Amino acid sequence: MAFLRTARVLPNLTRQCMRVATFQNNISRGYADMSFTFASPASVYYQGANVKQVDVPSFSGSFGILPNHVPTLAVLKPGVVSVIEEDGTQKKYFVSSGTISINDDSSVQILAEESARLEDLDAEAIRDGANRAAQELVSATSEQAKAEAQIAVDCYEALQKALH
């Protein structure tokens, strides 16, 4: 009896699976619309590429970008941009500052002032730099120097966080 029920349920299941499969197909066709560009002055990481998802740190809070995201503009803050490519591999990059633009045709541009692959970062150099920046913050006298030193300290903090 139980066997019979399974037999009756099975076609339903397959049909459902198929629906899921076609649904996923539709989505992946939707991915084709996301044209992702990620560059810094020195290097280009993605140019009009299709990716599944991009997570970005911005001053209005970190957020994830999926295809057909609502158009918006944002300003990058120091942190990690992680890109999930179409085959599911995740790549992480550190960015210092820059802009994010998401347009209504689902094209996304991330322009970083400086960027590096996470694996290229040197923990020791970051520690030294962080100490130097902290000293500069203490010794800074003018308002502008203080602000600049504060930015450096924030950036180094983000770098250290990115590595852990």
Partner 1 sequence: MTGGAMFSRAAFNFTPQCGQVRNMATLKAISMRLKSVKSIQKITKSMKMVSAAKYSRADRELKSARVYGGGAKVFFDKADIASDDKSPNHLVIAMTSDRGLCGAVHSGIARAIRAALPEKPPGTTTKIVCVGDKSRVILSRLFKDQMLMHFNNIGKQPPNFTDAAIIANEILKSGYEFDFAEMYYNTFRTVISYRLTVQPLFTLENLSKAENINIYDSLDEEVLRSYNEFALTSLIYHALKEGACSEQSSRMTAMESATKNAGEMIDKLTLTYNRTRQSVITRELIEIISGAAALK
Question: Residue numbers of the site for partner 1 (CB under 8 A)?
Answer: 37, 39-44, 47, 59-60, 70-75, 97-99, 101, 103-105, 107, 109-111, 113
* Closest distance of CB 164 from partner 1, Å: 28
- Tally of CB atoms within 10 A around 76: 21
Token pair in block for residue 12: 């339903």
Q: 74 or 126, CB closer to partner 1? A: 74
* Closest distance of CB 115 from partner 1, Å: 11
* Closest distance of CB 5 from partner 1, Å: 50
Q: 49 or 118, CB closer to partner 1? A: 49
As a whole number of angstroms, the distance between CA 4 and CA 107 comes to 51
DSSP codes of every residue in 54-96: EEE-BTT--EEE-TTPPPEEEEE-SEEEEEEETTS-EEEEEE-
Describe the strand order of the beta sheet including 79-85 as a list of residue ranges.
63-65, 51-56, 79-85, 90-95, 115-117
As a whole number of angstroms, the distance between CA 130 and CA 3 comes to 67
Q: 25 or 72, CB closer to partner 1? A: 72
* Closest distance of CB 32 from partner 1, Å: 18
Q: 109 or 150, CB closer to partner 1? A: 109
